Chains A and B, each alone.
Chain A
């Protein structure tokens, strides 16, 4: 194993100096996602204006991979059209599920390409995906027409991800 393939300098930079961190108003939806096997948690807010991700803000707790991923994700999706951001999320998910076989398109994924090495470590894939799944969930909620309160808050378990379960009692 080569640790540097996981702990890329870009990842450590985002971990030490996370972007867009801190919960901000206004927002359309807020979600709280946890990774029950390791205790990583994220509370994330999304503000959508005219089909564009206006803002993503978050508070999170967890390992370097999950923290850096939240920073990279928010920086990538803010300002994007929702459709483009969702496409990006699918790219990232595919990369993470590749078990080290995919390289990813750097043009598309930009800083998120640094997580390619993480996909070799099934126990860490969920760390990298936590904030992406939270963002996807929050955005879907923000888009729901019938949401009564503008600050609809939801607690959801992480989206089922196709990685082997690693944690044991």
Chain B
């Protein structure tokens, strides 16, 4: 964090202190780098009860994570002390607000291994970040030799995977419809991994862009990005990575990943809702046409025409989500203080424990990789009763909620995955840095209860 950053030094220090304090004792659960019970105290909501006194068991972090005090304090202090519009004012508050907003750009760049802060664009969420790239590729302004890489039309192909969140599928379907390009996809194996055998015939010289999810929100699968990026590079295709479920849980280095773009969303990584990030390689952003036009993104405006600001401001039209960006900065500081390797190790341990524990529930079938290898902590499953009849995930979720256990049910915005596995929906338990083995035990006990209820 830069010295000029007025952002709530107190709150950030608090994050550091609590995380550092947590790091001094090690959890009984094994070689975990921080004390989960201490970390949980940073998240006030985890201490609340539901349904007249039941402790909350929050296993829905893949939908959205909970927020630590440091993030709440950062937003509050921003409004109490520094609130002003950014990039447009010469008074003290405007300068402080701008400094706080821009400081997060440095924090985020460092967090994902970007060497150039101008490569970080703030968006509303992952969905907007992905749409930004997809729209750039069919923008009328995609002209001129330098924008050649973004031009797409009939005969060109867009490649995604069968495990995409709708947010990384629908924008590409729309791009294909707008431009006459063809959408293709990499299919799935029975244990929920990408079927890469015919990769070379799916990604070909016709491919203009490959967009894929890093860690699946429904299957938990962590995809072999390097292998696919290598093939995409061979044919000169752009690569987009949906990091919505990986950036919050794994150490990420955009240089090592080798992709051209990375999209992620703040609310899944302990930050507020309403802020996301598009990271892109500068030489590409420099020639990429804008998506939304308006204030902030221009250079010179006349009645006839305008020229555009350089990245990142070209892609940040209008007043941005300032307090949320400040909150994102505090969230990244919080995660960094705990350490992403430690967080990943904790979640790996919880996932291993949970896969094993869920395996003991009769009639439970995991949809996704059966082991914790190359897999994150979002575990989908289907369940049957004693006589082998399916218990619908809606009913599973309702009965778990009765015990204070929050899971997600449905198709998780990845309906094609449900179609692929021939199921209407799944129940999904998902973990984060604060999840405990006791919560997994509560889930397993709850699932036994669900089976008893429907086997009556």
CB distance from B295 to the nearest CB of A (A): 29
**A-side interface size class:** 20 to 34
Q: Is the beta-carbon distance between A169 and B402 smaller than 8 angstroms?
A: no
B399 within 8 A of A: yes
A62 and B410 contacting across the interface, CB-CB below 8 Å: no
- Structural contact, A6 and B165, CB atoms closer than 8 A: no
Bound CA–CA A40/B413 (angstroms): 14
A1-B51, A38-B425, A39-B425 in contact; A168/B63 too (CB < 8 A)?
Answer: yes
Q: C-beta contact mask, B394-415 vs A, less than 8 Å → 1, else 0?
A: 1100110110000001110101
Check if B413 sits within 8 Å of A62, measured CB to CB. Answer: no
B48 to chain A, nearest CB (A): 16
A41: Cβ under 8 A from any B Cβ:
yes
CB pair B402 A63 closer than 8 Å: no
Question: CB distance A3 to B402 under 8 Å?
Answer: yes
Does A105 make an interface contact (CB < 8 A)?
A: no
Task: Determine if B64 is an interface residue (Cβ-Cβ < 8 Å).
Answer: yes
| Complex-state Cα separation, A38 to B166, whole angstroms | 14
Q: Say whether A38 contacts B410, CB under 8 Å.
A: yes
Q: Is the CB of B424 within 8 A of A41?
A: yes
* Chain B: minimal CB distance from A42 (Å): 12
Q: Does A116 have its Cβ within 8 Å of any Cβ on chain B? A: no
Interface readout for A62-76 with B: 1 if CB under 8 Å, 0 if not?
Answer: 111101000000000
**How many Å from the CB of B88 to the closest CB on chain A?**
33
- Binary contact track A1-31/B, C-beta < 8 Å → 1, others 0: 1010011000010000000000000000000
**A168 — which chain B residues lie within 8 A by C-beta?**
63-64
Nearest A residue to B392 by beta-carbon distance? A63
Q: Provide the residues of chain A in CB contact with B38, threshold 8 Å.
A: none
List which A23-57 residues lie within 8 A (CB) of chain B.
Answer: 37-41
* Cβ-defined contact, A62 with B398, below 8 A: no
- Cα(A61)–Cα(B398), bound, Å: 17
Return the contact of A1 from the options B402, B410, B415, B456 (Cβ within 8 A). B402
Does A99 make an interface contact (CB < 8 A)? no
Q: Which residue of the partner chain, among A3, A38, A121, contacts B409 with CB atoms under 8 Å?
A: A38
Q: Is the CB of B63 within 8 A of A65?
A: no
A-B contact list, 30 entries, CB within 8 Å = A1-B402, A3-B399, A6-B398, A12-B456, A37-B410, A39-B410, A39-B411, A39-B415, A39-B418, A39-B425, A61-B424, A62-B392, A62-B394, A62-B424, A63-B392, A63-B394, A64-B392, A64-B394, A64-B395, A65-B394, A67-B392, A121-B398, A124-B398, A127-B394, A168-B63, A168-B64, A169-B127, A169-B165, A169-B167, A169-B413
